[in-house]
């Protein structure tokens, strides 16, 4: 057992932290939050130059062959700093799915471009039911002369507004087994019949409604096997849940650091408010939540990295970290008091992130149901 980072991982963490402090100011974060694109092409390019997009891809696909655990370390730093943009949807939801399920030709075509920062991807799974089960996939793909015609509405699709390619989960066969007959397609975002509308959201992240109206796609663009796409989706949802936890750990750590430093400086009744036991106990609870979150996240990430069964640990992590981040940032708000209730202050950026992160890829109740299932209940 070794709960520490390797020297190389420490370097990755430090260089990511230094880079983001320098290049991704809160001013930029706010500016991008308020923009329609939600990302800076300049920052995107520089992140690609640092090798972040290709971090987990093998070298033959233009990556540097790092582990999922290393990616989690990077995501923690991105969460700490809040980095707006399509990194998560491109690398985690898009890249890792292609890496896991794509054929050699698809990998050669997409992964090097992702690694160079030339492609933005998004993952279109959820529909108006807003849930992550196979039964909710109602979008259809009907075969016609070596092509498929896609019809349906996808909702809450992150970064579809800027995506070059959409990984679209569609139903190719109606059977009793709802997990059967699902196929994942790689669809050019500029295909005729694709309409994308930006949704205005709490976190000001770029979630979209994507309508597919008789969109044709070649059967060559099927990812994995026809009708057998649900295991691909399940696998990526598990990894995405853990990756999101890593981001949340970073965000929670940032909220804790901000609150503690304020509690040390803010003077009321002639003493720093951090000397009052009520505030100290909030902070103690926060650091317990952050530490616990970090262990659960890295334990699950380690299992993914090692190729061990990780369904239970991923669900435990998403359950705990999602709720813990919420508690941490709420306590931070309480410590900041009135100043935290302003747009000028940074803490609300984290509060918004926490709310969105808790929901995405299944909330705590969803994952508790997974845990119960894994217990054999």
Partner 1 sequence: MDFGFSEDEEAFRREVRQWLEQETPQRWIELDPGIWEETEESWALAREFRRKLGRKGWLAPAYPSEYGGSGLTHMKRLILAEELAYGRSPISIETEIMVNWVGPSIMLFGTERQKKEYLTGIASGDIIFCLGYSEPNAGSDLASLQTRATEVGDEYVINGQKTWCSYGHLADFCWLAARTDADASRYEGISIFIVPMKTTGITVRPLINILNRHSFNEVFLDEVHVPKENLVGQKNKGWYQLVIALDFERSSIGYAAGNQRIIEDLVKYVKDTTRNGEALASDPLIRNELAQLVVENEVARMMAYRIAWMFSKGLHPSYESSMSMVFVSEVMRRTADAGMRILGHYGELDRDSKWAVMNARIMRMCLSSLSIGVGGGSNEIQRNIIAMRGLGLPRK
**305 touches 68 (CB < 8 A):** yes
DSSP 8-state assignment for residue 88: I
Cβ-based nearer residue to partner 1, 69 or 186? 69
CB 74 within 8 A of CB 55: yes
Instruction: Name the phi and psi angles at 228, rounded to 5.
Output: -115, 35
- Which CB sits closer to partner 1, 6 or 25? 6
Closest separation in Å from C-beta 132 to partner 1: 17
Q: Which of 221, 136, 220, 147 lies closest to 182 in space, CA to CA?
A: 136
**Which residues ranging from 344 to 373 are in contact with partner 1 (CB under 8 A)?**
365, 367-372
**Nearer CB in complex with partner 1: 101/290:** 290
Strands 147-158 and 140-144: antiparallel
Nearest distance from residue 275's CB to partner 1, in Å?
5
| Contact call for residues 371 and 315 (beta carbons, < 8 A) | yes
Residue 343 in contact with partner 1, rule: CB under 8 A? no
Residue 63 or 322 having the CB closest to partner 1: 322
Shortest distance in whole angstroms from residue 207 CB to partner 1: 27
Our finding on whether 162 is near partner 1 (CB under 8 A) is: no
375 near partner 1 (CB under 8 A): yes
Cα 339 from Cα 333, distance rounded (Å): 9
CA distances (Å), origin 95, targets 61, 153, 165, 362: 11, 23, 11, 21
Interface residues for partner 1 in 286-315 (CB under 8 A)? 287-288, 291-292, 295-296, 298-299, 302-303
To partner 1, the closest distance from the beta carbon of 297 in angstroms equals 10
Q: Is 372 buried (19+), middle (13-18) or exposed (0-12) by CB count in 10 A? A: exposed
In the complex with partner 1, which residue's Cβ is closer, 69 or 149? 69
Q: Which of residues 132-151 bind partner 1 (CB under 8 A)?
A: none
Q: Is 27 helix (H, G, I), strand (E, B) or coil?
A: helix
Q: What are phi and psi of 96, to 5 degrees?
A: -65, -30
Q: Which stretch binds partner 1 (CB under 8 A): 26-34, 94-102, 198-206, 285-293?
A: 285-293
Residue 190: phi and psi, rounded to 5, are -100, 10
Q: Between the CA of residue 119 and those of 94, 112, 114, 298, what are the distances in Å? A: 10, 9, 5, 28
**Which is nearer to partner 1, 147 or 374 (by Cβ)?**
374
Strands (E), 131-261: 140-144, 147-158, 165-171, 182-188, 194-198, 207-218, 222-223
Please, which residue, 223 or 335, has the CB nearer to partner 1?
335
**Residue 248 in contact with partner 1, rule: CB under 8 A:** no
69 binding partner 1? (CB under 8 A): yes
- By CB under 8 A, name the binding residues for partner 1: 1-6, 9, 69, 260, 263-264, 271-272, 274-275, 277, 279-281, 283-285, 287-288, 291-292, 295-296, 298-299, 302-303, 316, 319-320, 365, 367-372, 375-377
């Amino acid at each position: 057992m070794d709960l520490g980072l390797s020297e190389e991982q420490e370097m990755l963490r430090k260089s990511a932290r230094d880079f983001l402090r320098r290049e991704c100011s809160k001013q930029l974060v706010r500016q991008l939050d308020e923009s329609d694109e939600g990302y800076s092409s300049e920052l995107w390019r520089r992140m690609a130059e640092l090798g972040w997009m290709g971090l987990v891809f093998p070298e033959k696909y233009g990556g540097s062959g790092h582990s999922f655990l290393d990616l989690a370390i990077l995501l923690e730093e991105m969460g700490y700093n809040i980095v707006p943009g399509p990194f998560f949807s491109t690398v985690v939801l898009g890249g890792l799915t292609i890496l896991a399920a794509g054929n050699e030709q698809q990998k050669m075509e997409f992964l090097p471009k992702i690694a160079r920062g030339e492609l933005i991807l998004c993952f279109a799974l959820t529909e108006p039911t807003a849930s992550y089960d196979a039964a909710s996939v109602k979008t259809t793909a009907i075969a016609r002369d070596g092509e498929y015609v896609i019809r349906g509405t996808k909702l809450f699709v992150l970064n579809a507004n800027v995506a070059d390619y959409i990984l679209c989960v569609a139903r190719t066969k109606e059977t009793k087994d709802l997990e059967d007959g699902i196929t994942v397609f790689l669809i050019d975002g500029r295909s005729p019949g694709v309409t994308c509308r930006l949704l205005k959201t709490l976190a000001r992240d770029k979630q979209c409604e994507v309508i597919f109206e008789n969109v044709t796609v070649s059967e060559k663009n099927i990812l994995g096997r026809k009708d057998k796409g649900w295991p691909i989706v399940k696998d990526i949802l598990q990894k995405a849940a853990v990756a999101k936890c890593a981001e949340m750990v970073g965000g929670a750590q940032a909220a804790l650091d901000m609150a503690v430093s304020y509690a040390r400086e803010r003077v009321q009744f002639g003493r720093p408010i951090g000397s009052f036991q009520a505030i100290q106990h909030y902070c103690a609870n926060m650091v317990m939540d952050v530490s616990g979150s970090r262990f659960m996240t890295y334990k699950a990430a380690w299992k993914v990295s090692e190729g061990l069964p990780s369904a239970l640990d991923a669900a435990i992590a998403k359950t705990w970290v999602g709720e813990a981040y919420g508690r941490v940032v709420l306590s931070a708000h309480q410590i900041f008091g009135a100043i935290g209730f302003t747009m000028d202050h940074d803490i609300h950026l984290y509060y918004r992130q926490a709310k969105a992160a808790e929901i995405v890829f299944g909330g705590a109740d969803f994952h508790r149901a997974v845990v119960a299932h894994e217990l054999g209940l």
